[in-house]
A and B are shown apart, each in its own frame.
Chain A
Amino acid sequence: MVVSRKTSVVVLLVSLTVLLLVSLFPVKAANQITLKVVIGPDTEDNRAQNLVTLEKIKRFEAANPGIVCRPVPFTYTTRQDFFIKQASRTAPDVLDVWATECELLASRNWIIPLDDYIKTWDKADWVIPSAYAPFRYNGKIYGIPFAGYVKHVIYNKRMFRENGVPEPTLDWTWEDFLNAAVKCTDKEKGIAGFAPMTKGGEGGWALTDFIYQAGGECEVYENGKWKAVFDSPEAVTALQFLKDLKWKYDVLPANWSNGWTDVYNIFGSEKVAMVFDADWGRNVAINGQGMDPNDIGVAIMPKGPGPKGRHMGVQGGNFYVINALSTPEVQDAAWKWLTFELWDEEDIKALAASAADYRAQKQYRAQFEYIPLKPDSPYIKAREEVFAQNSDVLLSWGSEEFLMKLPETAHIEPPIEAQVLYAQFLAPVVQAVLSDKNADPAKLLKDANARFQKEYLDHVN
């Protein structure tokens, strides 16, 4: 049989089209749900953790027939990756995100409220109710907290000892903090008493700690409207204090323009006595710079001056959220994945197994973690046992009194446009007072406050 050239071309084109369509729309088994779950990017330092995730996927699929997990390499380290993945509908169905992200994600309908799921969750009672606060939006809960922090001071014990500075107590004040910074500063040797974050959004984030300590706030909800209040006398006191640390007492590093990583590198290289830390900063100093963990002490934030002064640090952490772009069936599967093995025996086993890896690599599990569960929950007790058995590599931080007091010093981040507030409005005023001896903190804050109100909060109200 002779096939004409025209027929051959048509057959070829049809075959190619079918092939393309099949590759674009793979045939799924009936009722099969594909769940996109997060896995770390395939790098050397993620390899061990990724293997743990892949094992968990196998167990999850075995326990939930009909759900197939597709690992998506992803971390919420920069927002842009998430934006791009949402646009192309390739973002994971379950994500872990920062505590500041609630308003951004919920107001744009990118995540779903979890209240109905929480009602049926057997571990719901374990969670400290206040831990949900950063992810409450319009009266609903949008995220499950799984690792939290309350910012506090980490200090170099050896430098304190050598300079005759007493260890911070649970009632220490700005005055004590300043005395410690002054005594530890040695400009000849390039050593500073305190290194604040000042660069990028971190600069604003760091200033809010001082504002809260002085008794101030950034945003308040009054008469049904959001109001910017970081031009209060307390906030001015906070900014003035930061300014004095530079110009009056000269206890900051000569190069004061530092971001998150810079600050902990300086601390790890023992060029500064004190820094504020949330959770992972000391990991940079210990595993990155080789600082001896025994030289690091922790203290709650110092109390600000005046009747409104208080011990206070930013409360943050990470939350699990479910992608609103997923179908309802996938969202149900996502909740199953989110709660699968969370805070149970497998989790504890994995933690115990990781101790051997840290020993083999001569590193430490150094981060500070504030598990948002009630102290009597079974997970907390089991976890404490594993930490006690492997205390050479799994580091615990602070005395019992410190750990009891720390939650009382927690202050949630501004609910509306926190990252904008930090980067665009507060960081510049920090930089202004540190770069200009004659800068007027009251004027700078008044101006920034008015602009933030007009350009952002008024649009929300």
Chain B
Amino acid sequence: MIEVKTRHLEQMSIPPVKPVGYVVRKNFSRYGMGLAFLVPAFIFYAIFQWAPIIYNFFLAFQNYIPGLPAKWVGWANFRRVLGDSLLPIAIKNTLAFTGWALLIGFVVPIITAITITELRKGRSFFRLAVYMPNIIPAIALYVMWLYLFNPAVGLLNQILNFFHIPSSEWLLSPKTALVSLVMMSTWANFGSTAVLYMASLSSISEELYEAAEIDGAGVWKRIRHITLPALKPTILILLLMQLIFTIQVLQEPMVMTGGGPNNATMTVMYMVYNYAFVYAEFGKAGALGILLFIFLMVLSLVYVKANKLVEKEAR
């Protein structure tokens, strides 16, 4: 009893101050290894992502000539960018590309994932098949699609003609060029998104489907009441990611059309690229980059906020 009392008193007393070295060593042994694993990623992102983003804020207000001291020019770069007659066209094209990409590219992976998951046979084959376009190197992909789009000998027009449908000009017409790029981009990228949806679908308990089947639910009811609600978090996050990704479209118009015909596929990011790396107007590139960054940031915040509200309402 006395012993217990003493121990109790010891516990009550003020603990001795531990030396700093001891605390550091203790924390290091507990967190050190984990932090060490984070260091390369932290350095990489700091140098190649965060620092350029921060630097871009300065660049937007400077007349920067590589190799020479930059001069502060106030809002001049923003004024010139906003006065560029190409900007409204590029914004319109970018929004149109995003709209088409979401209309086609957002729904297709969901339908594909659900269809493949519902298959009784050949599931593995179709999973592999839909992912195949993702492993084609970008340049090979673009060359292949340039042949497919060729108005004279391209496969797409051959197919149309087979069904007695008039040929299309595809990339050569301002009316069809942008949609053609969306088609190509969707074909090239939908596999990776579909795989994410399939992974999400595999986490849905089989019991739910079995119970629904026992209750007499058909395929459509199972999809509507089990699959889609279960996929909702994935759908929401992928929608945001696709939105951010497609608004920054650059590669497809740059390689396939050079922004033409008649600027029909000129996008905001392509303008940023041209300002910086073709015309050496880095300040203007910075200014337009900042405007795009702010737009995407606001869009993302509104979207996240809206989804939180939706979740609260659901509760």
Chain A: residues with CB nearer than 8 A to chain B?
78-80, 83-84, 86-87, 89, 91, 104, 108-110, 190, 198-200, 203, 253-257, 259, 325, 417, 419-420, 423-424, 427-429, 431-432, 434-436, 451, 454-455, 459
Contacts and interface: CB of A to CB of B under 8 A. Distances in A.
Contacts of A89: 67
Nearest 9 CB-CB pairings of A with B: A87-B66, A254-B152, A431-B261, A80-B277, A86-B67, A432-B262, A200-B258, A86-B66, A435-B261
Given A427-B260, A428-B262, A431-B261, A255 B86 contact: no
B279 A455 contact: no
A257 B146 CA distance: 11
Interface of B: 65-68, 80, 83-86, 150-153, 169, 171-174, 257-258, 260-263, 274, 276-280
Contacts of A257: 171-172, 257, 260-261
Nearest to B83: A455
A254 B258 contact: no
A192 to B, nearest CB: 10
Nearest to A262: B146
Given A79-B280, A419-B279, A424-B86, A429 B66 contact: no
A435 B85 contact: no
Given A83-B66, A110-B65, A424-B86, A434 B261 contact: yes
Nearest to A451: B85
A454 B174 CA distance: 25
A255 B65 contact: no
Given A256-B172, A257-B260, 7 more contacts: A80-B276, A83-B277, A86-B67, A199-B260, A255-B152, A257-B261, A435-B172
A108 B67 CA distance: 10
A83 to B, nearest CB: 5
Nearest to A444: B262
B67 A190 contact: no
Given A80-B277, A83-B280, A325 B67 contact: yes
Given A80-B277, A420-B279, A108 B68 contact: yes
Given A254-B151, A423-B278, A435-B172, A84 B263 contact: no
Query: DSSP class of A's interface residues: helix, strand, loop or mixed?
Result: helix
A413 to B, nearest CB: 16
A138 to B, nearest CB: 17
Contacts of A259: 258
Contacts of B172: 255-257, 434-435
Given A257-B171, A451-B85, A199 B68 contact: no
A397 B68 CA distance: 44
A87 B69 CA distance: 10
Contact of A428 (B68, B173, B260, B274): B260
Given A190-B152, A254-B152, A435-B172, A419 B262 contact: no
B12 to A, nearest CB: 39
Nearest to A253: B152
B150 A255 contact: yes
A87 B67 contact: yes
Contacts of A203: 260
A254 B171 CA distance: 12
Given A108-B68, A455-B83, A429 B262 contact: yes
Contacts of A451: 85
25 contacts: A78-B277, A79-B278, A80-B277, A83-B277, A84-B66, A91-B67, A108-B68, A109-B65, A109-B68, A190-B153, A199-B257, A199-B260, A257-B257, A325-B68, A419-B278, A420-B279, A423-B274, A427-B258, A428-B263, A431-B261, A434-B261, A451-B85, A455-B84, A455-B85, A459-B80
